[in-house]
Structure 1
Amino acid sequence: MKKILTLVLALALVFALAAPALAITGDTSPDETNPSSAPVSLDVELFTAPEAFGGGTLSISRVASNKMYIVNEVAYWGVALEFYDKTEYDFNMQPRDYKDSVLTISCDAFALKTVGSGHTYSKTGSDKVKRNQGVPGLSLNDKDKLTTSFPSGKDGLWGTGTTVYYFGQGVVTGKGLLKAEIAKTPSWGGDGLEIYKSNGSILYTVKDETDGFRVTKPEVGNVFFEVDSDDEVTGIFVFLEDGELTQAQEVEFKKKTSGGGSIVLAIGDYEDDDLEDAIDLYNGVMKFFGFNYDAEGRLLRKHFESKCRALYLKDQATINLYTGSIVIPDPEVAPPKTGDAASVMGFVMIALALAAAGVVVAKKKIRA
């Protein structure tokens, strides 16, 4: 009798009460696009002086890597984007995943100001640099960030082999970062959020329904995450298109006795091959979206959006501050001036992107 009670107690510890998870966590930051697959490159740099332009040539000089700024010193910056030529490179992204992307620039070391047409430039192929030629300007949004979008269409820059440049300046108030990102906002259309494979076929479709989110894998089935008014997950259900059962089955869990966490104990009444297929579908969704149901959290749209193949590139430059007590008087920041090469002696001449800045994106004829 004593041995039987011991065995029963051991089984109770291993198979704790089966219950659906009540919380969810997951990484909501978007996955950065592999540069070798992106149709555009992004570069952020700091310079010693305003850009100079003359005779179709743009001249700039990058600051030293150990540059230390002083409070009230003027920092000169630039952002460049090269839109690769679609006739020369095989993009691994679908146009729907990058066209109409938005460029956003932010800084916590100095205030940003609108970048007008006088400080936007473009260069296509072996042509000379042009000022204010088909380049959208940068304007401040309500969060004091500079933004602009790059629309599709015949006048768009996508696939043209054009490099665009933006230049600006600001008065340093402290240490910080100048950040830039170009991103496509995922679209929740009538069919939901569609997540594609690299070959253009649909991997998952996510629908935001009244009481939860449904993740469908074509020709396989779906996983439904039931949520309450606080966005907490109250149940998880799996349905197989070719399964024996005609209704979705709830996932049941068991708690591990060591190491924490939980694993699937059962999925409703699925058995044998159906159970194996249901677990594979469930585990595939969990792994792809990076979900974890053993910690506090909520299930939101951004959990799914973060795993889209939509374009997301970022770059940044660090504004380091001198740690001494030197502070220069408040400057009168004049707009950058342009001139010929003689007025910017010692500047490094550039042709494509910001090659002089030492940042080169390797390109291949097949961008795999």
Structure 2
Amino acid sequence: MHAIRRGRLRARRLLTEIDHLPAARVFAGLAIPGLILIGAGRTDLLIYAVFGSFTGMYGFAESARQRLGHQLAAAVLLIGGTATGVALGCLHVPAWALVAAVAVFAAVASPLADRLGLRPQGPFFGLFACGAIAMVAGSDPVLALAVCAGTAALCVIVGYADAIRRPAPGGAPAPGARSGTDSLVQAGRYAVAVSVAGGIGVFLGVGHANWAMAGAAVPLVAAGNRDRIRRGVHRVVGTLAGLAVTAPLLLPGLPPTVLALAIIALLYPTELFMARHYAVALGFFTPLIMSMTLLAAPADPVVLLRERGIDTVFGVVIGVAVAVVPVRTRRIVADDARTHPVPVACGVVE
């Protein structure tokens, strides 16, 4: 009975103690360019707008100045990942080179994200953009980058305007950040996890590589082995639930306009739950990502659904294995406690 009451309390807090405004900001940042692309008949470019819109996820509850700085930095990270992916796709690099490039991007972006104190922490969205775009990059790279950069700029403007209108009480404190050796160790973790997961993905078929690399990166952001394992479990469970939501969207062969509208709508609940319960957020994030990928590069949805489940599982296993390797000094343990005072998007915040 105690467990049932505790579960009900968690569910009530999950649904009621949520600030809808950050999700509305992110939604607005995608809805405006998204509707323009739909009207222009270029739903294939929506993937670039989506990655640009992730800029709005940064600076959740910060002062106007902090949010502006962090969102500008996040925009650079996301546009950089997108630009790298576009270059890799246009050059038609072999699969092993793609994996190596994403691993290098993750290793470079990780200490930069640490240095800048970004929240969400780590290079996940940037490296995800890099790998995903490399798999679908089309024949109009300049327009694609313009869509991404324009959407990111819009999100920065929306975020700054809202921060001025509704300033954070007293200014939100800047989060702690890894530095020095600790940051380099974390960068090495990203490089190893992404390389191994991507390498296995290439062995199984290049379609597996990107989601495997993304899955491997997910557990690394959490502090402590218990939270890393829990975050990995959330990634698997949330993705599998998201695949169940994705199937009715992709299997009937809906028109591109309908899929595009669904993508825009799905971003709102994704951001709504991202910092509260990662698995729930993935139930919306997974169909969003898969739908936009299908619009950019049409493929057999049955194959996509099957492969995304497989590569998520083995990617997470690799990520957890790398994350729990005991490369930990007293300084790193203290640093984790300082930079991760609470589990990051692993569950309902107590």
TM-score category, normalised to shorter length: under 0.3
Q: Whose Rg is larger?
A: 1
The answer to which structure has the higher strand fraction is 1
| More RCO (CA 8 Å, sep 6+) | 1
Please give the TM-score of this superposition, normalised by the length of structure 2.
0.19
Please give the TM-score of this superposition, normalised by the length of structure 1.
0.19
